[in-house]
Amino acid sequence: MKDKDFKYLVDGFGDIRILRFTVPEFEALTLNQKKYVYYLSEAAKWGRDILWRQQNKHGLVVRKVLENILESYNKKKDSKNYQDFLDYVKRVFTSNDLNHHYSKIKLIPKVSKKYFTSLLDNSEEQGFDLSGKTFDEFKVWIVDIIYENGEKTGDLLEQSDVTFYENVTEEEAKTFYNKFENLKEKEPIQYGLNSKLSKKNGLIFEEIYQENGIHGQEITKIIYFLEQALEFCENKEQEKHTKELIKFYKTGDLRIWDQYSVTWLKENKGQIDYINGFIESYKDPIGIKATFEALVNVRDEKETKITEIIAKNAQWFEDHSPIDEQFKKKDIKGISAKVINAITLGGDCYPIAPIGINLPNSDWIREKHGSKSVSIENFNKALDHASSELPKNIRGEFSYNKENLEESKELNMIGSSMHTHLHECLGHGSGKLLPGVFSTDLKEYQMPIEEARADLFSLYYLPDQKLINLGILPSNDVAKTYYEAFIKNGLQIQLVRIELGKTVNQAHMQGKKLIAELAYEKAKKDKIIEKKIKNNKTYFVVNDFLKLREIFGDILKEVQRIKSEGDYKAAKKLVDNYGTNIDSKLHEETLERFKKLKLKPYTAFINPKLELVTKKSEVIDVKITYPNDFLAQQLEYGREYSL
């Protein structure tokens, strides 16, 4: 299939655009590799309901209601009200939640409660799980859940809708887990990662995610398809880490999870790879518990050569980092990096996905065994092609100097790709904690500080002659162009993702804002970064990118100190002062300018569809197709991957 014949952009609603992505290597895979991909993909999709339950106690119930309306509503479907209802459904499905995926603001239908009730009345009653209620009671109850939007009070846990904690306060949760920190183990497990913390009759206890525990039905399905995949592993190492993952799911034992993580990161010979588990703790307000996520992928051999060069030189970059010597790793081990093409997304990777990943997250594993970094090439390709299908260019709107935009676009694409490689491959794997310090010492500020640290490491090295000497960057012009793009995004452009009057509360965005705001504060006196007004529009211009590099180095030095020493107070001050609050006038102006472009600030993806092709009960091939209907795929997953 030629790119010119493939439509990447297939839908748009609210602040979301929906893209498809291709897997160019798939047809060249052997039959066994295709079978391996197929069964891993089934395991990935079976964790979907787990994520829905983790994010909101009513999320899965509401999703089932929406699915039933879509499947059985028997009245007019071409009215504006019904289209507004579809818009709400798509936004909920995109977030896997009743709240916006980034801002966590409650998603409320545009249609009235009366119209929503009419949707319920004209859908198949037997399709709703009434849970012992009469249908009239059920309607009142579910409409109240969907439209309720009161301000929540209390601590971080009481304000959150996640289900990691039940009847437990922030102070009680931190006290419960402090006992694990006090053990000061040399190889500490990521305590609490795969559990729910509850309080009943005054007693606080954990319930573990495992085959015979919470989410047991879905985990049993995941285990089944991982066991099916075992037969088609490409090598013994893949077979070993898959067996360890199965054992982890059966027991919920986090020491087995660490064992699996070490085996997984050391396996780099196979063309196919995957992640599957409770991995990232972004959604936990205090940064302990992880959501389910999964990704099945195939290596991009051509692009991987670049990341391999970076990984081989990891010690040089660590040695020349501007951070204090006591925080540097003296003997970096096991750093591996590759560029992949995604095949199937699952859990917290679907439908909104990362463009890069660095795992495992355990600091002791990173220090002792290394880490595995990936950049996802076919997502970047889809984003680039989709942007070319749009009539307006956001870069042009926020660029003070309009000349050479096409040339700078090419340089910025190179810079963006290299930034991702450095961020994932080296940034997250750099630096070390002092003895007795844990990442969780930073509590709710752990993730924004970590994302800022990885960004700063990448930004500092982007202009370095070393990248040019290694033959992986053409010139310093790339850094010059990307620096300005980063500053504009951190100070202004990313604000289009935030509702007016709200603050930034997503870790990646907080990290970028923190860097840009602090850099601007340090740079504006000497006009290294300059704020300019033209035709009543605000622009940010980088006048000296080499001096800005020095500023990035100074900020990196402090951010690394904060992480290495577990300085909670300094982390709080940095994130609260620079990463959270927004200038209301600049925000209002930015939103108005972006609105005129009629663009969508967020991107979600539709998975390719994999189907077994059989002949006389024997699998002879795995067929891949590229659906273009977002709602249809969501409904299919609701039917096929939900119990």
Amino acid letter, 582: I
For the chain, report the end-to-end CA distance as a whole number of angstroms.
36
Structure tokens at 123: 């859908």
Strand ranges (E), 143-219: 165-166, 195-200, 203-208
CA-to-CA distance for 136 and 142, rounded, in angstroms? 10
Tally of CA atoms within 13 A in the half-sphere of 310 that contains its CB: 33
CA-to-CA distance for 472 and 190, rounded, in angstroms? 36
CA 479 to chain centre: 25
* pLDDT at residue 439, rounded to an integer: 81
Between the alpha carbon of residue 79 and those of residues 75, 83, 124, 414, the distances in Å are 10, 6, 20, 45
pLDDT band of residue 340 (cuts 50, 70, 90) is very high
pLDDT band of residue 187 (cuts 50, 70, 90) is confident
Packing angle between helix 80-95 and helix 59-72, nearest 10 degrees? Answer: 140
CA-to-CA distance for 417 and 144, rounded, in angstroms? 45
Alpha-carbon Rg for the chain in angstroms: 24
pLDDT band of residue 629 (cuts 50, 70, 90) is very high
Mean pLDDT of 293-320: 94
pLDDT band of residue 438 (cuts 50, 70, 90) is confident
- Phi/psi for 423 (5° steps) reads -60, -50
Transcribe 371-391 into DSSP letters: EEEEEEHHHHHHHHHHHHTSS
* pLDDT at residue 184, rounded to an integer: 57
CA-to-CA distance for 305 and 507, rounded, in angstroms? 30
**Which is higher by pLDDT, 521 or 598?**
521
pLDDT above 90 as % of the chain = 83
Q: Which of 189-193, 298-302, 387-391, 540-544 has the lowest mean pLDDT?
A: 387-391
pLDDT band of residue 406 (cuts 50, 70, 90) is low
**CA dihedral sign, ordered 118, 124, 129, 132:** positive
**Is pLDDT of 28 > 60?**
yes
* pLDDT at residue 47, rounded to an integer: 98
Provide the pairing of β-strand 291-299 with 9-13: unpaired
Q: Are 425 and 340 in contact (CB under 8 A)?
A: no
Give 111-150 as a 3 state SS string.
CCHHHHHHHHHCCCHHHCCCCCCCHHHHHHHHHHHHHCCC
Is residue 483 within a helix (H) or strand (E), and if so which, with residue range?
helix 477-491
Q: Which residues neighbour 549 within 8 Å (Cβ) at sequence distance 6 or greater?
A: 459, 460, 462, 463, 479, 483
Mean pLDDT of 419-429: 92
pLDDT digits (tens, 9 = 90+) for 551-592: 999 999 999 999 999 999 999 999 999 999 999 999 999 999
* pLDDT at residue 185, rounded to an integer: 66
* pLDDT at residue 383, rounded to an integer: 86
CA-to-CA distance for 486 and 528, rounded, in angstroms? 14
Nearest to 509 by CA among 530, 532, 486: 486
CA-to-CA distance for 273 and 238, rounded, in angstroms? 8
* pLDDT at residue 2, rounded to an integer: 57
Structure tokens at 464: 């370095």
Neighbours of 34 (CB within 10 A): 22
**Which is higher by pLDDT, 191 or 84?**
84
Mean pLDDT of 488-511: 94
**What strands, in cross-sheet order, belong to the sheet with 335-347?**
272-280, 291-299, 335-347, 371-376, 356-359
**Is pLDDT of 270 > 70?**
yes
Q: Are 410 and 442 in contact (CB under 8 A)?
A: no
Upstream peptide bond of 360 is cis (omega within 30 degrees of 0): yes
**CA–CA–CA angle 227, 232, 238 (5° rounding):** 75
Neighbours of 429 (CB within 10 A): 27
Mean pLDDT of 150-174: 93
- Kindly report the pTM of this predicted structure: 0.86
- The residue whose two tokens read 């925000």 is 587
* pLDDT at residue 624, rounded to an integer: 98
Mean pLDDT of 612-629: 97
CA-to-CA distance for 638 and 623, rounded, in angstroms? 21
Neighbours of 554 (CB within 10 A): 16
pLDDT band of residue 389 (cuts 50, 70, 90) is low
CA-to-CA distance for 327 and 561, rounded, in angstroms? 7
pLDDT digits (tens, 9 = 90+) for 77-119: 999 999 999 999 999 999 999 999 988 899 999 999 999 999 9
CA-to-CA distance for 48 and 347, rounded, in angstroms? 5
pLDDT digits (tens, 9 = 90+) for 208-264: 999 999 999 999 999 999 999 999 999 999 999 999 999 999 999 999 999 999 999
Q: Are 85 and 116 in contact (CB under 8 A)?
A: yes
**Is pLDDT of 597 > 90?**
no
